[in-house]
Homo-oligomer: A and B are copies of this chain.
Amino acid sequence: MEATFRALSKHGYVDLRLRDIGDEFEMTRQLIHYYYDGKHDLISAFLEYVIEQYEGSVAVDESDDLWAELDARIDQCLFGPEFASDFDHWDRMRVYHELFSQAQNDDQHREIFNRHYTKIRRSITRVIERGIEQGVFRDVDPENTAQFITDAIHAARGRRISLGHDEAPEQIRRALDEFVISSLAPPGEEPEFKSARSTARN
C-alpha cells in the first residue's frame, strides 16, 4: 500500500501503471497480479487503506465542551493531524481528491467514498445533536448543518490542491466561524467559539 502511495504521488492515477507500483518495492508485476485482479482492484484496496488511515488520524474524543469538540472536528478535517509538518496529510488528500473525482465512473469507489462521507458527516451531526439536546446550540437541522460544514471542508481542500490556494482551509475556517458556527448559539447568547484562536490564526 505504501508503494502504491509513492507510485500514485509520483505518476498520478491517470498515468499509473502496475509496473510503476512494482518499481517502488521488491515485487514483480506477476506477484501483484497474484494478489490483485489488476490495477482497479489494487486501487480499490488502496482507497480503503487511505480512508482508514484518514479516519483514524482525524478521530476526536467526545467532549463535554461541545463548542470545543465541534471546533476540533472541523480543524482535524480541514488542516489534518500534523500541524508542524503537514506533508503527509496533504499528500494523502491529493490522492483522495483525485480518486474522488474519478468515482463518477466507478461504482465501487463511489460506494467506498459514500460510506466514508457518511461517517465523517455523522460525527459532526452527533456533536450538533448533543449540543441541541443540552441547549448549548439552537435548534438547527443537525444533518443539513453537518452536511454544509462537510461540503465546505471538502471544497477548501480541493481548491488548495487543484488551484494551489494554500490559504483556502484558513479562509473557509473563518467563513464557517462567521456564518455557521457563531449562528449555532441560542438566541440572545454569545457563541463560545474561540475568537482568541481566530485572531491568532489571522
Interface residues of A (CB under 8 A from B): 12-14, 94, 97-98, 100-105, 110, 113-114, 117, 140, 144-145, 147-148, 151-152, 154-156, 158-159, 161-164, 168, 171-172, 174-175, 178-180, 183
Contacts and interface: CB of A to CB of B under 8 A. Distances in A.
Contact of A98 (B102, B154, B164): B102
A114 B158 contact: no
Nearest to A172: B151
Closest 6 CB pairs of A and B: A101-B101, A151-B155, A155-B155, A148-B175, A103-B162, A179-B179
Given A13-B14, A144-B174, A155-B154, A101 B98 contact: yes
Given A154-B155, A183-B179, A100 B148 contact: no
B144 A101 contact: no
Contacts of A147: 171, 175
Nearest to A147: B171
Contact of A152 (B97, B104, B155, B168): B155
Contact of A144 (B14, B155, B159, B175): B175
